[in-house]
Amino acid sequence: ETLVISSWAPPTHVLNAEAYPAFIKLLEEVTNGEVTAELKLGLAPPPAQADLVMDGAADITHIFHGYTPGRYPAAELAELPGYQGGAEALSGAYWRAYEKYLKDTGMHQEFKLLALVAHGPATLFSVDKVNDLAAIRGMKVRVPGGVGSEVMAELGATGIQVPANKVYETLSAKAADGVTLNIDARQGFNLNEVAPYMYEVPGGFYRGSFAILMNRAKWDSLSPEVQKAIDEKITGETLSRLWGKIWDESDSRVHDEIPADNLVSASTTDVEAFKAISDVVSQSVFAKVEAATGLDAMEVRDFIAEQTVAIESEK
């Protein structure tokens, strides 16, 4: 059985170059070669991917929750700034929170959910050097949707909304002064050419939330043995952390390549100032999530934070 994976990231992006191949390798291993998968790029734009898999035009995809505002309110909890840990730790914690809280809200119940992933701390890449938090006020920043958009709005930036694959062109046309993305996006989207400077806060401006989804009927069509093997050895925390780990490694490789002159880390006062902003955004997200799902949002956030630290320390 060959499953079809639809991916919307650029061909050289770490997800296509490393994360999916690692997943396919795992799939072949645990099913003794009975199930494999192939990657199809660019079948449809990013926001269409979930529907694509739901209708069976592809079997598996990853979606970015922020592209479809309003549809996955609980996902914003994983995107909040301030979690202390890399993508692997947060993704593992995210999955644990799913098992404990989010599952009951019916999140992704129409799919076979394979993993939940949160990328590393998002930073600000800019055309001109940004030295402090105050400089962000008035900037035109390409925002991703979800928490990242709210944080930038709170910082006083004007949000520019274009899909991720148009980021390069938007910056080179000076339609935006900067973009907020996770670190390895610098390489994935060739940002070093158009937005060479980076400003970072500890824990990031936000963490992007993703899900790896599989078509329900396709899953049901697999033999019970294969399902069992996949569920025991891939689905859930394993795959979530595997992707997180690959992403962490890619982030740190790219971080090392950035010239010191191009990199600014937030000062102590700015870290404090950002904490206040992050609290404002968190409160608004809590209210939104509670209204939409009935969850005790702060409890979930605290659980994710605690599990992130736990996984980070046991690594």
Q: Which residues bind other proteins (CB under 8 A)?
A: 4, 40, 42-45, 47-48, 51-52, 54-57, 68-71, 138, 140, 143, 145, 149, 158-162, 165-166, 169-170, 172-175
Whose Cβ is closer to other proteins: residue 172's or residue 227's?
A: 172
Rg (CA), the chain: 19
Sheet-wide strand order for 178-182: 158-160, 140-142, 178-182, 122-126, 197-200, 263-265
Residue 232 Cβ vs other proteins, minimum distance, rounded to whole Å? 29
Q: How far is the C-alpha of 255 from the C-alpha of 247, rounded, in Å? A: 12
Q: Other CB atoms closer than 10 Å to residue 103's CB: what's the count?
A: 13
Q: Which residues pair with 112 in a beta bridge?
A: 214
Residue 292 Cβ vs other proteins, minimum distance, rounded to whole Å? 8
Question: Are the CB atoms for 247 and 182 separated by under 8 Å?
Answer: yes
Whose Cβ is closer to other proteins: residue 43's or residue 309's?
A: 43
Q: How far is the C-alpha of 197 from the C-alpha of 247, rounded, in Å? A: 21
**Token pair recorded at residue 153:** 């709005």
Residue 221 Cβ vs other proteins, minimum distance, rounded to whole Å? 12
Whose Cβ is closer to other proteins: residue 47's or residue 309's?
A: 47
Nearest CA-CA partner of 158 in 173, 132, 180: 180
Q: How far is the C-alpha of 303 from the C-alpha of 121, rounded, in Å? A: 19
Q: How far is the C-alpha of 145 from the C-alpha of 80, rounded, in Å? A: 13
Whose Cβ is closer to other proteins: residue 41's or residue 280's?
A: 41
Residues constituting the chain: 315
Question: Are the CB atoms for 65 and 273 separated by under 8 Å?
Answer: no
Residue 4 Cβ vs other proteins, minimum distance, rounded to whole Å? 8
Whose Cβ is closer to other proteins: residue 22's or residue 48's?
A: 48
Whose Cβ is closer to other proteins: residue 162's or residue 263's?
A: 162
Residue 136 Cβ vs other proteins, minimum distance, rounded to whole Å? 13
Residue 35 Cβ vs other proteins, minimum distance, rounded to whole Å? 17
Whose Cβ is closer to other proteins: residue 69's or residue 259's?
A: 69
Residue 251 Cβ vs other proteins, minimum distance, rounded to whole Å? 25
Question: Are the CB atoms for 186 and 166 separated by under 8 Å?
Answer: no
